[in-house]
Amino acid sequence: MTIWTWLHAVGRPTAIVLGLGVAVAGCQAIPGDGPWMNGAKSTSSEALPFDVIDLTPTTVVAYRPAATVDQPSETGNLSAGARVSVEPGDVLRVRIFEPYEGSIFPTIQKPGADFGNQVVTNDGTIEVPYVGIVKVAGLNLREIEQRIVQQLGNKAQNPQVIVEFVADRNNTVMVSGEVKSPGRLSLLEGTRSVVDAINRAGGPTGVATQLQVVLRRRGNVILDKQYSELLAGADVGIQKGDEIVVRPNSHTFTVLGAVAKAGNVALTKANMTLLEALGEVHGLSDERANKTGVYVFRMGDIQDNPNARARVFRLDLMQPVSIFVAQQFGMQANDVIYVTNAPLYEYNKILTAIYRTFSIVGIAKGSVTPTSTF
């Protein structure tokens, strides 16, 4: 039995069926906005590939949306500078000072201690006057300063060494995708985490709940989460060479039937409720909607148990308590909301079709003057 067969559990009156036959014979098939839900009962049967659940203050408890709870961030103790090391291709600036006049290096009050830019060679070294060749690859700036002091030995008295980055070519991360300024960022600028890197790239271009963030490190994916989850505390630290990709990952639900605006709607928040979802499509259609027949179709449970049986949730909006129930029912991606047509609207469609049929027949015989339909 299909879902639509179940939706037709109770047949329409014989007169309506006859009216349909007349309409088909005289003109064309009556267009339908969707199946009738009249007679649908709350049931759970092995004969059906889904369970039907009436949404009440009691049953809705199991389907409440998860609250957005901020988690403690794991990036609080990260220090970008402590993890930055020099590699071949980087450009350094080395300055050496001595505290006394007459030494081989000038005092800090005088210019001339700057030895210019030093490009780290492929073997990981730089050459500093009076010091010689210094192995710097794999060291941070503080360690390089100490090594230069050691290699100077007795050549200088109390030398003060300052090493700075001029061009950082290795301690970088790449940010690409749905950000305002994609490109390569240096860890020397204080970039410590994924969210930090995205912010320094100008921030995301879309809604946080519609963006997925992937972090690749040495060919492996170590993070694949929604951007909104990172903002809630799931942010992680980054290392040089990381690649951050921000890509759209649209989470939508579908609204069909007697609503003001049917179609696919984006889940603009992680814990959207059924009442908010109906508000996104401007509510039910006053002329068409059957307030007792609001249904949500869900194929399994995408969030917790994708292999679960499909479910059909029914809500009777004629009951005042249903407004509170709709405020507690959490929507999921790929849900389908279907609002049935009111019985009176169905009858009106049939009567209109019959009227048009007989009008066409009367016009053909010349006995009826064309008039507007109702």
pLDDT tens for residues 114-124?
778 889 999 99
Higher-pLDDT residue of 110 and 15 is 110
What's the pLDDT at 48? 64
Please state which CATH number belongs to domain 3-67+271-360.
3.10.560.10
Are the C-beta atoms of 337 and 296 separated by less than 8 Å?
A: yes
- Edge-first strand listing for the sheet containing 220-226: 183-186, 172-177, 243-248, 211-217, 220-226
What's the pLDDT at 203? 92
Domains of the chain by residue range: 3-67+271-360, 85-167, 172-248
Alpha carbons 168 and 185: distance in angstroms, whole number: 10
Tokens 């949404």 appear where? Answer: 55
Strand pairing report for 172-177 and 243-248: parallel
Burial of 102 (0-12, 13-18, 19+ CB in 10 A): exposed
Q: Which residues contact 22 (CB under 8 A, 6 or more apart)?
A: 354, 357
* Helix 343-365 × helix 14-26 angle, to 10°: 40
Higher-pLDDT residue of 55 and 364 is 55
How much of the chain, in percent, has pLDDT values that exceed 70?
A: 68
| Fold designation for 172-248 | Outer membrane lipoprotein wza fold like (3.10.560)
What's the pLDDT at 56? 94
What Cα–Cα distance (Å) separates residue 308 from each residue in 14, 98, 311? Answer: 39, 75, 9
Q: For domain 85-167, give its CATH number from 3.30.1950.10, 2.70.98.10, 3.40.50.300, 3.30.70.420.
A: 3.30.1950.10
Span 311-370, pLDDT tens digits: 899 999 999 899 999 999 999 888 999 998 877 655 565 656 665 665 665 555 555 555
